[in-house]
A and B are shown apart, each in its own frame.
Chain A
């Protein structure tokens, strides 16, 4: 039985249901790396070029961790989710980055995926499946099961039983990696704040909000995050925004500015992530932000504007 390694980085939290069901049905054994930890982060910073963003480095770490314990490594080359839409250049070149940065990798399953349209996705799945089995009916069955299971799964968060609600913006792989964001979600919940993420804003609302832009965004995530943020702001569905961003993320560098320019003085905390240890710094800023938010509702006045608290986590390894 072949073993397929599934790195627990980047889009894993979004699509792990699909991948594990798919490979399982194909008859392959899957092994995934552990949740991001110190070792994985250190491996990532060791192998990856310094200029890449944190998440790409973390992914390198997961791959380096897995490389000796599987026959295939599943590193889909995700070009985009729709025609003429993209994720980010580093996603497109990820398999090459890995191959040239880390030596001794097993075979990569890096079939390019350019669209999530059903027929395109199936063609892609056939290509991937062919690496494991040549039996077309098995691939078809695996695909159907994976699609079915994935459709019942929503990686987003939408807390209900809290007094105040904050939209947690940013890439899925920042939001769902508790090591990288230092348990941000837990901390917010403990402080009595609920969270909503972009997955829980209906697509039609997002699309409507995106229409404000001069140009139709060509980054799939960009449209989702921007649309969700603007919609939540306009409908006053949340009390503030927290944006989890990483240094050197090209999409964030533009998106944050665009959201800020629409929302004006609305409470907006930007947390910058890097290979850090400075948890104390994040805690201080998060607490300060949340305290101000509490006071705001309490006084029901806008006398103190939390404004923008940038946390700069640029520190170590």
Chain B
């Protein structure tokens, strides 16, 4: 069995640590670029959302390289993501008839027995001892946790760095070196080193950079190719950006969900505008925009794939938040047609707008004559 997974930003690096530790043969998904999307779109239905197409591209590339099993986390609605595996199985088995899918769904939906059975499929192909397995899992968890921390810190500090590009370069070499490691212990060491290095970047706290929150659909915000590298661009513009939805957030959220104590702050914040869970991360999107506003950030950018159902609901609500809370929010809708020029223009114009708003101190809520 040779396992592969879709490319999900930092998750891929942590998955590598996991597979290395479990001694499972694997093929890492290639870094996403235009060809990935091109080949993925070719084999996908036209109207499906963007993440599906990019993932298809990943799978096909990995299958070409020899992968025969796809490991994927599922969900059971109500957004389309939960049905991805069903359709991908149909489409990919035409491509490779003996392809295996291991889908990790919530035991509440598929039953405990099926859940354990699926886990066991992975377990069986591992030649590691029980102790090694445990430590591999732990290491993978720490990998993703530290990676997310480094990511977050670098994105935040980019606004304060003395030497332009310092944070971005550090982040780059960190990920490059981490991906090159072939065992989890080494990878953790690299990450911890970089965590220290990050603290040594010369900073200028007298700067007062723009602070922008990145909110929206989780795949498109954690996988940089799909959002046209928005966080890197913000770093280039010396903007401090913040994103709550990360792979480690997702893990925590998933495990706490059965106890109903997940994402309390976000859900509490969203209560007035969207009191119910609508699937995907629509409620989180609304909640986070409000939290960002409360924490004195300058604005928020919502990123969503075209026709993403939960985000469309959130998109309807965000203009009211913008108006009532005097908090600028811009929505960027992404599909394979998006041209980089128009995308950059929007981001730059949004940042200009935040800058002017700060400079003039104009309260928008006052300018608008909307009855609220």
Contact = CB atoms under 8 A, between A and B. Distances in A.
A and B touch in the complex (CB under 8 A): yes
Interface of A: 48-49, 51-53, 77, 79-80, 84-90, 92-93, 96-97, 100-101, 103, 112, 213-219, 222, 247-248, 250-254, 256-258, 261
Interface string B328-354: 000001000000000000000000000
B90 A84 contact: no
A93 B273 CA distance: 10
Contacts of B103: 214-215
Interface size bracket, B side: 35 or more
Contacts of A87: 78
B277 interface: yes
A87 B309 CA distance: 12
B48 A103 contact: no
Contacts of B105: 215
A254 B83 contact: yes
A53 B312 CA distance: 10
Q: Which of A53, A89, A213 has the most CB of B within 10 A?
A: A89
Interface string B285-326: 000000000000000000000110110111111011000000
A257 B87 contact: yes
B313 A96 contact: yes
A253 B45 contact: yes
23 contacts: A51-B306, A51-B333, A52-B316, A80-B78, A84-B108, A84-B109, A89-B312, A89-B313, A90-B312, A92-B279, A96-B316, A97-B313, A103-B371, A215-B110, A218-B78, A218-B82, A218-B83, A247-B307, A253-B47, A254-B48, A254-B83, A256-B45, A261-B90
B307 to A, nearest CB: 4
B302 to A, nearest CB: 12
Interface string B60-91: 00000000000000101111101101110111
B187 interface: no
Contacts of A257: 45, 48, 87, 90-91
A250 B309 contact: yes
Q: Which of A52, A92, A217, A248 has the most CB of B within 10 A?
A: A92
B213 to A, nearest CB: 20
Contacts of B101: 214
B221 interface: no
Contact of B274 (A93, A214, A251): A93
Nearest to B309: A89
A79 B276 contact: yes
Contact of A250 (B79, B91, B110, B320): B79
Contacts of B310: 89, 93
B90 A101 contact: no
A254 B88 CA distance: 10
A248 to B, nearest CB: 4
Given A218-B76, A218-B78, A90 B45 contact: no
Nearest to A245: B47
Nearest to B83: A254
Q: Which of B80, B86, B316 has the most CB of A within 10 A?
A: B316
A100 B45 contact: no
Given A79-B276, A80-B78, A86-B77, A217 B313 contact: no
B85 A215 contact: yes
B78 A96 contact: no
B254 to A, nearest CB: 16
Contact of A100 (B82, B317, B333): B317
Contacts of A88: 78, 309
B315 A49 contact: yes
Contact of A86 (B78, B320, B370): B78
A254 B87 contact: yes
B214 interface: no
